[in-house]
Chains A and B, each alone.
Chain A
């Protein structure tokens, strides 16, 4: 088991393994999303309070969950990189940032679109969930801006890891904001008993798993590029590029 993780942390091993891994994550993920979308849009009954607008949750909830998961991944990657100086951990954090930012943007926009017919407003500045999620988006932007402003990769890794670790407090605030403060946003629904009908819940779980698998494939692809860039002066990259079959 430890040997597997040790090998996985080796850049050349990861680079080759990821090429095999990506379709195994992407294909089942896309199939689950296809099922979840079809069921969520056409099979599930209309919600008695929200009407058809509730169908937005099938894309909003997975986006919101991934927006937080990607940031936690960045913080964990940054922390491991700082403590154990594992090169791949910093690369994971760097690769996760743009994907996390994309899902945070989607969570904010789909939430806003849902809010217009349900709350009568696109945005509410006083709402803790909305505001903390917007801060999360700014943290992603700050993280990426900080990385791109430092030419030295090792220094960029350290500085951005500190930002990721400090900013992870905001993920806790995003998650618990609906419980700690009065919020327009509804409270915990997905994992709470009796809040959702089973017919509505099954496509949502399919979407959650599907989005997670697709996120994994997207991360694996970006991480492959990050590894290639960081290792561009190493022997294994030179040998791979010069090999007749290449290693794209």
Chain B
């Protein structure tokens, strides 16, 4: 990479980190939303 290694690798590393973090957050949010709905619906079912 000549004298540009730090610039090039930091760009690729940053892209990887941001995409992985974004995807991880999306998965966590999905599980959270699903669990909240599940708890609410099951509580309603038991109540009835």
Contact = CB atoms under 8 A, between A and B. Distances in A.
Interface of A: 37, 41, 46, 51-53, 55-56, 59-60, 63, 98-99, 102, 105-106, 109-110, 113-114, 116-117, 214, 218, 221-222, 224-225, 228-229, 232, 237-238, 241-242, 248
B37 A241 contact: yes
Contacts of B40: 232
B11 A56 contact: yes
Interface in B9-27: 10-12, 14-15, 18-19, 22-23, 26-27
A53 B22 contact: no
A218 to B, nearest CB: 6
Given A110-B15, A228-B37, A53 B30 contact: no
A116 B4 CA distance: 10
Contacts of B45: 242
A117 B14 CA distance: 18
B8 A55 contact: yes
A106 B17 CA distance: 10
Interface of B: 1-5, 7-8, 10-12, 14-15, 18-19, 22-23, 26-27, 29-31, 33-34, 36-38, 40-42, 45
B23 A218 contact: yes
A60 B10 CA distance: 12
Nearest to B28: A225
Nearest to A46: B2
Contacts of A116: 7
Nearest to A237: B37
Name which of B15, B30, B40 has the most chain A CB atoms within 10 A of its CB. Answer: B15
B14 A99 contact: no
A221 B26 contact: yes
B26 A222 contact: yes
B38 A106 contact: no
Nearest to A222: B26
Given A52-B4, A53-B8, A218 B31 contact: no
Contacts of B34: 228, 241, 248
A110 B18 CA distance: 12
Given A228-B30, A237-B37, A248-B31, A102 B22 contact: yes
B2 A51 contact: yes
A113 B23 contact: no
Shortest Cβ-Cβ A-B pairs, 3 listed: A53-B4, A225-B30, A52-B1
